[in-house]
Structure 1
């Protein structure tokens, strides 16, 4: 909770995803009078709980990084402490080189610190393993301001490491091109270690030593919520309302304008609101549209952000017919292996609450779509299901037919973080900060995960609370 208390100040939050809701919650706690406007009829954005065959499931994001505290702390703050849960299955696999293999240990986002774990699981060829072993013999690199993680890792350790390890792991987060994704933005600890250590593998080992000695050592990496992470935004919304906040759905914002001492916010139906401050918690294209008049530089920068689309194919099977599935939480698929799916999650193995929803059913889901390679998303829902089933037959021998299927499409769902992303974000924030009472937050700035989104929301809210405490009301 913010220490700054600002009574009777009006703040409009534009956007009802987890970022906007977290900002609204922080502002209400700080004493502000908050109105949140969401264009669609549903709160939560990519956090979306639903059902398949009567079983509760997440149809969007399904877990939170537990080693960052922001999302877990928010869940506790809105009354979900007793519903926080750990994955029931921890092991994960990697389908590559024609076989399902255990995910190797001893890496940072797929970048290895040692050859031994890789040699044991057979992910890389002998030539690839030899290349990693020679990393310490290469001259030390002088890293510039930023570099594509795939480009840098390939130069040091070979393309195999990127294509079969880094790409599927980064793809699970960004659905992006590993060769273009900024190392400084996406894996900052690796960027700093690569600058500080003699070799990349030594940098990975240094990161692992620090992690082993840190306060989160031995703790869970991920955490979920009984009933679905999609319940988090709904609980936050309830807490905002309980604190006096006003939340309106079906309320797209048409115009945002500075009025001298405050802000005017006009919705599509002509409703006009005045505010002392505004938080814009929207994807880049929508934010750029609203900021074009008062912050054209920021709007232009946001207009260059590219997004990846994806689809999640959720299927329910009779449990007796899929008894042979691996007892793991699922597996990743590198794009070089030529399958349609990029990952499969065995939800009934991974989450106890899914398994308990109907002990006779088994729920799993696949994900489809990568940045720059989204042709599969043009297929209709039945074909995406068919392609997923074919790939599951190839990877794990699945022959059963689902009793229910559901396809959820996330068009433009994941912002891309190319080289130079952090500089672009800094330019956006610099111009936005020049406008009194305006802040931005969301997945496009400091990370696409739930904790990162919550952190940007809290920063935006805290800065506004501080400013509102020192200036007259509009």
Structure 2
């Protein structure tokens, strides 16, 4: 392909795929990039739409502010002035019949202070009495990856897992603590498990050493996180094609071919390199022919589905206005709603247009509870309204409602996840000009996805440069031929 413009195909138009395209363009604008997205729109689980005139996210509503990748990308594509921070991050847990505040200094639900835990009222007297036994029990030896529940239950008892840790993990993964990997989901705690006898003491040290002046934990965009994909796509210089599904990926003598279209009318796109930025099941199908070891590992990554029910009320419908950002619901409570966010309280800019409006989002669906999501939209709205009536005392009907379903949305980082990802990458690494990125690997949040995109783009760029240097040396006249 001497003398031709290098071409990279990115399969997947979620934030990871778009960020990969943008990184490629930023590093070498001479590279032609094509992004293939099977759905009618880019952005994956980042989408915002209006409810009662307020632009509210339907998927992820924020990104970690203390990880730089997401904020940096927003700034680089011209949205730096659009970044805003929450007005409050105080969250509660609905458990044992009441809303109870999270104890101070906890580490992803792991308490660091027994006194603060007691004041929260989250645990029963028996559950609370079990926690300090951690300080006198023999060390729990952790020499390989274990589940979150297995380790924390051994140290602090079941109630800490059920009423503190699992609700927080459920908010991120919609998963189960007895399946999720300690190494992949709680790395700070995993490090402590290998080096410390007391988890309570380790949590206290982690909390004490956490930066106190690092600024807000979360940030979003004034137009919602749903505004980020379009800006990245526009800045990427890529040919973004929606409604185009990649069905097959094959190695060729000069690079790769990506087959799209129907089986009756296929289209083949030739590329020097390919970045696969789709969820694990789809990535596995694409890689099955050329990288079967990676495909087999990706097929083992399970996904959870969920729905977000957005309700808009008059503030007067609430006997007392919510004072925090929202609350979590432990799965042991047996309720369909697993989390509630008071959007116009958490994000003050959303309330600017109409201070009398209160918009909230109810998250429904956990791993293994797909039967709940089989109900129709009206039934899901009824569940969310019943939640508000019971917990917040809301009376009357909402002004507007919206139901957004995310099937197979959240990859589960089960025990052994990090080793599984390492095996995927090792198998992909031997294929020249091929890379993978997305939420299935190193983290579900926007910054983590952007980080995987940058790594994938870097791998492809390095390959293209090696190929270019090889061609340049091949085209040089032999010594003494002039």
Q: The TM-score by the shorter chain falls in which range?
A: over 0.9
2:406 equivalent to 1:407: no
Which residue in 1 is equivalent to 2:384?
388
How far off its partner does 1:144 sit?
Answer: 2.1
Which residue in 2 is equivalent to 1:448?
444
Please give the TM-score of this superposition, normalised by the length of structure 2.
Answer: 0.93
1:27-176 equivalent positions in 2, closer than 5 A? 27-31=24-28, 32-176=31-175
Q: For the aligned residues, what is the CA RMSD?
A: 1.5
**1:288-315: per-residue Cα shift (whole Å, max 9, x none)?**
1110100011111111111100000001
On the 8 A contact 1:193/1:207 being kept in 2, the answer is no
On the 8 A contact 2:140/2:151 being kept in 1, the answer is no
Secondary structure of 1:111's aligned partner: coil
2:1 equivalent to 1:25: no
Aligned partner of 1:378 among 374, 381, 385:
374
Aligned partner of 1:222 among 214, 218, 225:
218
Which residue in 1 is equivalent to 2:261?
268
On the 8 A contact 2:141/2:193 being kept in 1, the answer is no
Higher mean displacement: 421-430 or 319-328: 319-328
**1:192-221: per-residue Cα shift (whole Å, max 9, x none)?**
122122211122122223323xxx744211
Structure 2 CA distance for aligned equivalents of residues 387 and 126 of structure 1: 31
1:212-361 equivalent positions in 2, closer than 5 A? 212=211, 217-241=213-237, 245-268=238-261, 270-322=266-318, 324-361=320-357
Q: How many residues align?
A: 462
Which residue in 1 is equivalent to 2:179?
180
Which residue in 2 is equivalent to 1:364?
360
- Asked which structure has the greater CA Rg, the reply is 2
Aligned partner of 1:16 among 3, 13, 18:
13
On the 8 A contact 2:66/2:214 being kept in 1, the answer is no
Which residue in 1 is equivalent to 2:460?
464
On the 8 A contact 1:322/1:362 being kept in 2, the answer is no
How far off its partner does 1:320 sit?
Answer: 2.6
On the 8 A contact 2:319/2:393 being kept in 1, the answer is no
Which residue in 2 is equivalent to 1:197?
196
Structure 1 CA distance for aligned equivalents of residues 152 and 314 of structure 2: 43
How far off its partner does 1:323 sit?
Answer: 5.6
Which residue in 1 is equivalent to 2:474?
none
On the 8 A contact 2:175/2:304 being kept in 1, the answer is yes
How far off its partner does 1:391 sit?
Answer: 1.5
Structure 1 CA distance for aligned equivalents of residues 66 and 5 of structure 2: 36
**1:83-102: per-residue Cα shift (whole Å, max 9, x none)?**
10100122111111000111
How far off its partner does 1:28 sit?
Answer: 0.7
Secondary structure of 1:448's aligned partner: coil
Please give the TM-score of this superposition, normalised by the length of structure 1.
Answer: 0.95
